[in-house]
Chains A and B, each alone.
Chain A
Amino acid sequence: MTTAAPPRSERLLRTSSSDGPVGPDLATHLSLHGPLAVPTRDDREWSHAVWSELAASGLTGRGGGGFPAAGKWDAVTRSGRRPLVVVNAMEGEPASAKDRALLTWSPHLVLDGAEVAAAVAGAKEIVVCVADDRDPSAGAVERAVLERAARPGGCPVSVVRPPARYVTGEESALVAWLDHRDARPALRVDKSVPLRLGRRPVLVHNAETLAQVALVVRHGAAWFRSIGTSDAPGSTLVTVSGAVARPGVLEVELGTPVDQLVARVEPTGPIAGLLVGGYGGAWLAPAHVGTPYAAGPLAAVGATLGVGVVVVVPTTSCGIAETARITRYMAGESAGQCGPCVFGLPAIAEDLEQLAGGRADAGVLARIERRCATVDGRGACRHPDGVVRMVRSAMAVFGDDARRHAAGHPCSGHDVATLFAFPVNRPAPGGGS
Chain B
Amino acid sequence: MSRATPVRIRLRVDPVACEAFGYCAEILPERVALDEWGYPVIDGAPVPEALVELATRAAAECPRRALLLERVSAA
**Interface residue ranges, A against B (CB under 8 Å):** 184, 186-187, 189, 337-341, 343-344, 347, 371, 374, 378-380, 433
Whether A380 and B37, one on each chain, are in contact in the complex, defined by CB atoms closer than 8 angstroms, is: no
Given contacts A339-B35, A380-B15, A380-B16, 11 further A-B contacts (CB under 8 A): A184-B16, A187-B16, A338-B16, A338-B18, A340-B15, A340-B39, A341-B15, A343-B37, A347-B36, A374-B41, A380-B14
Whether B37 and A339, one on each chain, are in contact in the complex, defined by CB atoms closer than 8 angstroms, is: yes
Q: Is the interface of B mostly helix, strand, loop or mixed?
A: loop
Choose from B13, B14, B19, B36 the contact partner of A374 (Cβ within 8 Å). Answer: B36
**Interface residue ranges, B against A (CB under 8 Å):** 12-16, 18-20, 35-39, 41
Q: How far is the CA of A182 from the CA of B15 in the complex (A)?
A: 17
Q: How far is the CA of A374 from the CA of B39 in the complex (A)?
A: 10
Q: How far is the CA of A380 from the CA of B38 in the complex (A)?
A: 17
Q: How far is the CA of A184 from the CA of B15 in the complex (A)?
A: 13
Whether B35 and A340, one on each chain, are in contact in the complex, defined by CB atoms closer than 8 angstroms, is: yes
Cross-chain pair count, CB within 8 angstroms = 42
Please list the 4 inter-chain residue pairs (A to B) with the smallest Cβ-Cβ separation, ordered nearest first.
A338-B15, A339-B39, A343-B37, A337-B16
A-B contacts, 28 listed (Cβ < 8 Å) = A187-B14, A187-B15, A187-B16, A337-B16, A338-B15, A338-B16, A338-B18, A339-B15, A339-B18, A339-B19, A339-B20, A339-B37, A339-B38, A339-B39, A340-B15, A340-B35, A340-B37, A343-B37, A344-B35, A347-B36, A371-B36, A374-B35, A374-B41, A378-B15, A380-B14, A380-B15, A380-B16, A433-B19
Most chain A CB within a 10 A radius of its CB, from B12, B13, B16: B16
Q: How far is the CB of A386 from chain B (nearest CB, A)?
A: 16
Whether A378 and B41, one on each chain, are in contact in the complex, defined by CB atoms closer than 8 angstroms, is: yes
Q: How far is the CB of A33 from chain B (nearest CB, A)?
A: 43
Most chain B CB within a 10 A radius of its CB, from A186, A340, A344: A340
Q: How far is the CB of A35 from chain B (nearest CB, A)?
A: 47
